[in-house]
């Protein structure tokens, strides 16, 4: 047992040494000590802000971002900022699912829904995710004992998916069920990345989320599909749609420009290449100006 503990400590220290040794990391360390010594709302908010800054500046560091989101949530729960904790746990699980902190985040999320919000059905989703995604984790046995239903995440997805439309034409979705389905899709893809269903779930996430104006979730799904499954048939389309969402719905033109540029470099012969080039050439132009330019071009032909 001592040998196992020693090895685990060495692994953690090694990972810490690989982390960016920046001034920001030093600031975080100091703020963590301050928040531990005096867990005031001011100290906790400052610390959480630095965690979020680290995630923004180091978006590829899934391991530490996952840890920081879990730590942020733990601190916020102690300060009774429950919604803030849920927000950080959600980001940790869905954005940085490969982090070793994800099982902890899943369990804390489930416990929070069960005890703070009194929503056992929602808690069940995260208990089930922990059991399926991390069956050998120490929290998995605890989660299994607390499950109210033995239905898998896939079964739960199918139940909602088959009952999401409000009429027989299957053109109007139930917004509440749509949001729940989006959450389940992203949860499944994050903790079960090797499942053959995850890429299709991510593309379905875009379609459902977009229909109920969950544009942030739609963009997250498209980015994840392209990044995690670059050889999937829908991957190039997902990349283009990510740019479209950032340009038109999330209003982040810098991000849209970067994505369109990457799309044209990687997929110059794709069916959406002309659309991407047009978007790139006219990024940020007001609609009336763009229409006037198109009118003049047509007149000149």
Which residues are CB-contacts of 21 (< 8 A; sequence separation ≥ 6)? Answer: none
Structure tokens at 253: 């033109």
pTM of the model: 0.83
Band the pLDDT of 14: cuts 50, 70, 90: very low
Structure tokens at 132: 């399926």
Distance CA 80, CA 62 (A): 26
Residue 226 has what pLDDT?
Answer: 97
Residue 301 has what pLDDT?
Answer: 56
Residue 298 has what pLDDT?
Answer: 67
Residue 4 has what pLDDT?
Answer: 38
How confident is the prediction for the chain on average, in pLDDT?
89
Q: Which of 157-171, 176-190, 213-227 has the lowest mean pLDDT?
A: 157-171
């Amino acid at each position: 047992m001592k040998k196992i503990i020693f090895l685990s400590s060495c692994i953690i220290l090694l990972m810490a040494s690989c982390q960016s040794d920046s001034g920001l990391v030093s600031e975080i360390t100091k703020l963590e000590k301050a928040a531990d010594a005096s867990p005031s709302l001011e100290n906790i908010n400052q610390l959480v802000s630095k965690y979020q800054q680290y995630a923004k500046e180091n978006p590829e560091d899934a391991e530490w971002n996952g840890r920081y989101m879990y730590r942020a949530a733990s601190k916020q729960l102690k300060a009774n900022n429950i919604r803030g904790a849920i927000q950080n746990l959600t980001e940790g699980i869905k954005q940085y699912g490969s982090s070793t902190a994800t099982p902890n985040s899943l369990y804390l999320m489930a416990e929070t829904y069960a005890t703070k919000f009194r929503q056992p059905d929602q808690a069940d989703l995260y208990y089930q995710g922990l059991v399926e995604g991390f069956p050998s984790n120490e929290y998995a046995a605890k989660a299994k004992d607390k499950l109210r239903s033995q239905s898998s995440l896939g079964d739960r997805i199918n139940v909602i998916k088959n009952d999401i439309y409000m009429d027989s034409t299957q053109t109007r979705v139930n917004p509440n069920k749509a949001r729940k389905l989006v959450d389940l899709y992203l949860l499944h893809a994050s903790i079960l990345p090797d499942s053959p269903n995850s890429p299709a779930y991510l593309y379905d996430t875009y379609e459902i989320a977009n229909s109920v104006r969950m544009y942030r979730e739609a963009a997250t799904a498209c980015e994840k599909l392209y990044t995690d499954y670059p050889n999937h048939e829908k991957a190039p389309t997902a990349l283009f749609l990510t740019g479209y969402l950032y340009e038109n719905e999330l209003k982040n033109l810098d991000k849209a420009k970067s994505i369109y540029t990457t799309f044209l470099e990687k997929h110059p012969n794709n069916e959406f290449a002309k659309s991407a080039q047009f978007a790139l050439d006219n990024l940020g132009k007001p609609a009336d100006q763009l229409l006037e330019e198109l009118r003049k071009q047509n007149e000149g032909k």
